[in-house]
């Protein structure tokens, strides 16, 4: 799993890639956000390099959160080739997340 600060690529560069990117918009003070950490770790174990998982703290990146209309946390968004493919707020377990990602990967041209 990655955080925005530990990569030299910009957020925009990451989203432009062919590899699907699951972005978890979270906040340190958010209880449900803490529940997502083990879920995303499990998802990473299941999917490996098939998807990049990026965590963005909305309190450290408020302009980015505003630009994507993130009004509640956790909010999960799936991107590929610069396009937003899916979005949902709230906790989602690893198995349904994997199915959602697989469904969008197979639907890509």
Q: Which CATH number goes with the domain that contains 48?
A: 3.40.30.10
Which residues touch 18 (CB under 8 Å, ≥6 apart)? Answer: 80, 81
Please give the DSSP secondary-structure letter assigned to residue 74.
S
Q: Among 14, 22, 33, 54, which one carries the catalytic annotation?
A: 33
Is the CB of residue 52 less than 8 Å from the CB of residue 79? no
Q: What is the pLDDT of residue 36?
A: 96
Whether pLDDT at 109 is above 90: no
* Domain interval for residue 7: 2-106
Report helix, strand or coil for 77. strand
Which residues touch 92 (CB under 8 Å, ≥6 apart)? Answer: 36, 39, 76, 100
Q: Among 1, 30, 91, 100, which one carries the catalytic annotation?
A: 30
pLDDT digits (tens, 9 = 90+) for 34-91: 999 999 999 999 999 999 999 999 999 999 999 999 999 999 999 999 999 999 999 9
Q: What is the number of domains present in the chain?
A: 1
- C-alpha to C-alpha distance for 76 and 35, rounded to whole angstroms: 13
């Amino acid at each position: 799993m990655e955080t925005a600060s530990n990569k030299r690529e910009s957020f925009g560069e990451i989203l432009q890639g062919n590899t699907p990117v699951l972005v978890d918009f979270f906040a340190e003070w958010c209880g449900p956000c803490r529940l997502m950490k083990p879920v995303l770790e499990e998802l990473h174990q299941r999917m490996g390099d098939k998807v990049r998982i990026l965590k963005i703290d909305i309190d450290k990146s408020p302009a980015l959160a505003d630009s994507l209309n993130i009004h509640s946390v956790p909010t999960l968004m799936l991107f590929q080739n610069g396009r937003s493919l899916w979005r949902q707020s709230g906790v989602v377990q690893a198995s349904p997340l994997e199915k959602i990602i697989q469904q969008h990967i197979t639907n890509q041209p």
